[in-house]
Structure 1
Amino acid sequence: MYVPRHFAVDDATTAEFLAGAGAAHLVTATAEGLVATRLPYVWAPEVGAHGALQAHVARTNDQWRRPPVGEAMAIVHGPDAYVTPSWYATKAEHGRVVPTWNYVTAHVYGRLVVHDDEDWLAAHVRALTERFEAARPEPWAVDDAPPAFVAGQLRAVVGLELVVTRVEAKAKLSQNRSDADRAGVAAGFASAGDARMADAVRAAASRKVGA
């Protein structure tokens, strides 16, 4: 991934992003060509030297049966949105501004491990469920469903674990603009109702990413 200095992301911010993102496109280059699946995942920082993304696919999805040639890659997307030049303070000063797109993303590379194992899958789906249900006032739990039904659902999926070897992360959030321009972009997103992007721009400015 092309990552200019302004948009580089430190290890702590990358780990925070991977822990919070929730889903990724798993891409594998196989003997039959490229294969990709969008998957919710659990970030497991304790696995290996660099952590792991743990997910599962339907047994009928044959990506798990097609071994990758070399590394597999997960593309993790954060917030993204169009930036109008009208938000820049410098537009009024000299007009030499153009539109762009702000975004946060990470390309996670690693060794893909298949887990066709009921115990691993049971622990994984519980962890996945607990993660996404945690914020609900009355969280749903796996044990709310009949045991026989849960067992049948587990037999219908296969676990996939991307044991990470390296991560390329990028946060393009107007860090290359002036303070006034960044403030204008954050205010523009806020006025457009995109609080997530507004917060991301402000956070990147406060961290001075790439400085």
Structure 2
Amino acid sequence: MYPPPQFKENRSAILLNMIRTLRFGALVSTYNKEQIISHLPVDVEENGNTIWLNTHVSRANPHWQVTRESPTVAIFEGPHAYIRPSWLTAKKLHGKVVPTWNYIAVHAHGTIEAVNEQTWLLEHLAALSGAVEAERPQPWALTDAPADFIDKLLPQIVGIRLRVSKLTGVWKMSQHHSEQNRSEIISGLHAENNPCSQKVASVMSNIKTSFTNNK
């Protein structure tokens, strides 16, 4: 991913927080000289200076057979929205504006390894579902399902751990625009009245304090 300097985000805490918020990404590796891509839920594990992204696949999915020597990247797509030129006063004044797209993206590079241990898989599944269920009323827990039912399903999946060697991110949120333009874009996004546009408007409104990029 090419991160334009004005949109580049390289602070691990910000990037990991976005991964934890999104919880779902695309794992891209090379297998048998071809790209293999799996869309997967992810749990973040930090152990000292080491960062792991933990997930799992069906045993029928060959992604777990990728070797540690093959570079892998996990791709996470955050809030994004189309930006209309007609929202800007500049369009009426001189017309020197074009459509664009605001977005957030995080890439986690590293190598992966397969995990078959039952204890690890149970802990991983509990952590993965627990993180999502905690936000809901009457949260479901892995122990709510019969133990023999879970034991029957476990052999059908394989755990995957991505050891992160590099994190990169792009927060393209009109940082290079004037405050007037940014205000007009935020107003336009709110008027769109859809969840994606609302999320981008929220990020833009807070980017100075929460998402100020490193130039």
TM-score of Structure 1 vs Structure 2, range by shorter chain: over 0.9
> Does 1:209 find its partner at 2:210?
no
Name the stretch that deviates more: 197-206 or 156-165: 197-206
SS across alignment from 2:126: helix
**8 A contact 1:29–1:69 mirrored in 2:** no
1:1-211 pair list within 5 angstroms: 1-11=1-11, 12-46=13-47, 49-67=49-67, 69-193=69-193, 194-206=197-209, 207-211=211-215
Note the alpha carbon deviations across 1:110-167, whole angstroms, 9 max, x for none. Answer: 1201111101000000000100101111111111111111111212110001110001
User: RMSD across aligned C-alpha pairs, in angstroms?
Assistant: 1.6
- How far residue 74 of structure 1 moved from its aligned partner, in angstroms, is 0.5
Query: Following TM superposition, where does structure 1 have runs of at least 4 consecutive aligned residues deviating by more than 4 angstroms?
Result: none
CA distance in 1, matches of 2:50, 2:169: 14
Call closer, same or farther: CA 1:33–1:68 in 2, change over 3 Å: farther
**8 A contact 1:24–1:77 mirrored in 2:** yes
Structure 1 length-normalised TM: 0.93
Structure 2 length-normalised TM: 0.91
**8 A contact 2:66–2:112 mirrored in 1:** no
CA distance in 2, matches of 1:114, 1:148: 24
User: Any gaps of 5 or more consecutive residues in structure 1?
Assistant: none
Call closer, same or farther: CA 1:16–1:152 in 2, change over 3 Å: same
CA distance in 2, matches of 1:200, 1:63: 34
**8 A contact 1:50–1:166 mirrored in 2:** no
SS across alignment from 1:45: strand
Q: How many residues align?
A: 210
User: Any gaps of 5 or more consecutive residues in structure 2?
Assistant: none
CA distance in 2, matches of 1:149, 1:79: 37
**8 A contact 2:85–2:91 mirrored in 1:** yes
**8 A contact 2:8–2:214 mirrored in 1:** yes
